[in-house]
Amino acid sequence: MNIQPRNFLLAAVCAAWLGSAFAAPDARIATLAAKEKPALLETLKELVSIESGSRDLEGLEKISDLIAAKFKAMGGEVELIDPSADAYRMEDTPEKIGRVVRATFKGTGKKKIMLIAHMDTVYTVGMLNKQPFRVEGDKAYGLGIADDKQGVAVITHTVAMLQALKFKDYGTLTVLINGDEEISSPGSRTLITRLGGEHDAVLSFEGSSVKEDKLSLATAGIASVTLNVTGKASHAGSAPEQGVNALYELSHQILQMRDLSDPATGLKMNWTISKSGSNRNVIPASAAAGADVRVLKVSDYDRIEQQVQERVKKQLIPEAKVEMKFERRRPPLEATDASRALAKHAQQIYKDELGKPLGADDAVAGGGTDAAFAALKTKAPVVERFGLQGFGAHSADAEYVLVDSIEPRLYLATRMVMDLSRNKLPGN
C-alpha cells in the first residue's frame, strides 16, 4: 500500500481541524465503505428475497449458489461442500443438510484469517410475504436480515473492499458460510472446528445489538438430555402387578437429576418436557423426558455428561429399560487473552479512527453461535458479532438492521483483516 503518507497527512489535518482527540479514518477505506453501502443493501435484498430455512434444501441450494457466485466473481477459489455424510446426528437433524460455501483467497503474506456467517434462518417457507425487504428511515427490514443475512453481506462487501484496495497481505483469507446454524450446525461443525484450528484468527459475523454496538467474546454452550424409559403394559385395573410402570421409573429419574445445576459455574440443567402412557387404564409401557442444559465452560460439558451417566444407573424399577442420550448442541465460546486482545484492537480502531465506542462483552448472553465451534480446538482468537447492529432475530417482530451501522462495520472488518494480516495485534 502506498497511500499512508497522504492519509497520515490528511488524518493530521482533519484531527487538527476538528480539534478532536481521535485521528481521522483512513480516507480511502472510509470512502470505499461509503461506496459499498448501497451495494451491500442491494446484496441484502437479494439474500433476504430467497427463503432459506435450515430444512428448506431448495432455498438453501439457491442461496448457496448465489453466494458462491459472488465470491467466485471476486477471484475466490470456491467449493460447495455437502456436509450430510459426516454430520453429528441429533434428534432433530434432517437426513440432508444444506451445503457449506467455502471461499479461499490467496495472498502474499503468512497470516490465515477466517470470516464466518450463516445463510440459513429459523423461518419456514411462505413467511417472507409478511416481511419482504424494505428500507424505512434508518432500518432495513427483511426475514432473517439480522440473523444472519447481514453477516453474509458484510463479509461479501469486506472482501470487495479488500479487492478494491488491492490488499493481499494475508496468507489465506477464508470465507465460510454454512446453512445449518439454526439447527445447531450438525453438518458444518466438524469443518468449522477444523478450519478454526488452521487459522490465526476467526471473525464471526452474527449481528450486534441495537441497544449497544458491541462485539461478543463469550456465548452459551447448549446441550440436551433425553430419557427414554421402556416398561411393560398391563391392565391397570385387573393386573397392574404384571406391568412395568415406565412413568414411575421416569419420575424417579427426573427427581434424582433435579439438582445438577451449579450456580457457581453457571451450569444449568432443567427438565422441561415429558410424556408417557396411552390410556388411563393401562400401566404405561413407555415414558420420555427431556432436559435443557447450559454451560459456560467446555469442561462443564464433560462434567455434566458424566454426572448424568452416573445418576441414570440408579433405577427405581430394575425391570425398566432406561436409555439416556446426551446431545452436545453447541459448545460455549469462552473469552481468552487472545480474543480480548483482538477485541481491544477493534475497539481502538473504532475509537481512534471513527470516534465511536464499541463494547466487547465477555458475559454470556443469549444463544450459542458457530464461533464456539471455531474456537473449540485452537488458542487463536475467535470473536463474535462483527455484523451489523440489528433486532428481532427468531421473533415474531419485524427483523431489521440499522443502515447507519453498515459503514462503520465495513470499515472495521476491512481494517481488522489488514491489521491481522500485518501482524499489528499485540501478542502476535
Closer of 186 and 284 to Zn ion (Cβ): 186
Piece of 12-20, 41-49, 119-127, 203-211 that binds Zn ion (CB under 5 A): 203-211
Binding mask 234-273 for Zn ion (x = CB under 5 A): ----------------------------------------
Nearest distance from residue 54's CB to Zn ion, in Å?
11
Nearer Cβ to Zn ion, position 43 or 216? 216
Report, in Å, the least distance between residue 71 CB and Zn ion.
Answer: 20
- The residue (of 114 and 227) whose beta carbon lies closer to Zn ion is 114
Cell of 287: 415414558
Residue 151 neighbours by CB distance under 10 Å? 27
Cell of 57: 434444501
Q: Which is nearer to Zn ion, 148 or 180 (CB)?
A: 148
Please give the grid coordinates belonging to residue 288: 420420555
Cα gap 276→283, rounded to integer Å? 10
- Decide: is 147 part of the binding site for Zn ion (CB under 5 A): yes
- Rounded to an integer, what distance in angstroms lies between the CA atom of residue 60 and that of residue 99? 7
Using CB under 5 A as the criterion, what x/- string covers residues 98-137 for binding Zn ion? ----------------------------------------
**Residue among 51, 56, 148, 384 that touches Zn ion (CB under 5 A):** 148
Q: How far is the CB of 98 from Zn ion (least distance, A)?
A: 14
Q: Is the peptide bond before 361 cis (omega within 30 degrees of 0)?
A: no
Task: Find the shortest distance in angstroms from Cβ 393 to Zn ion.
Answer: 7
Contact between 26 and Zn ion by CB under 5 A: the answer reads: no
Nearest-5° Cα angle at 69, 68 to 72? 85
User: Residue 201: which of 33, 390, 346 has the closest Cα?
Assistant: 346
Report the nearest approach of Zn ion to the CB of residue 206 (Å).
5
Residue 329, H or E segment: strand 321-330
386 three-state secondary structure: coil
Q: Is 181 one of the catalytic residues? A: yes
Query: Could you tell me how many helices (H) and strands (E) the chain has, helices first?
Result: 10, 19
Name the minimum Å distance from CB 53 to Zn ion.
Answer: 13
**Which one is catalytic: 120, 182, 206, 361?**
120
The span from the CA of 17 to the CA of 6, in Å, is 16
User: Of 148 and 419, which CB lies nearer to Zn ion in the complex structure?
Assistant: 148
Nearer to Zn ion, 44 or 287 (CB): 44
How much helix, strand and coil, in percent to the nearest 5, is found in the chain? 40, 25, 40
Select from 11-19, 146-154, 220-228, 336-344 the region that touches Zn ion (CB under 5 A): 146-154
Taking the least distance from each CB to Zn ion, the nearer of 148 and 334 is: 148
Total residues binding Zn ion (CB under 5 A)? 3
120 tagged catalytic? yes
Sequence length of the chain is 428
- Which of these is catalytic: 56, 169, 181, 206? 181
Q: How far is the CB of 118 from Zn ion (least distance, A)?
A: 6
Q: Phi-psi region for residue 230, left (φ > 0), alpha (ψ -120 to 50) or beta?
A: beta
C-beta neighbour count of 1 within 10 angstroms: 12
Show Cβ contacts of residue 418 under 8 Å, excluding neighbours closer than 6 positions: 162, 167, 169
Residue ranges binding Zn ion (CB under 5 A):
147-148, 206
Q: Which residues are catalytic?
A: 120, 181
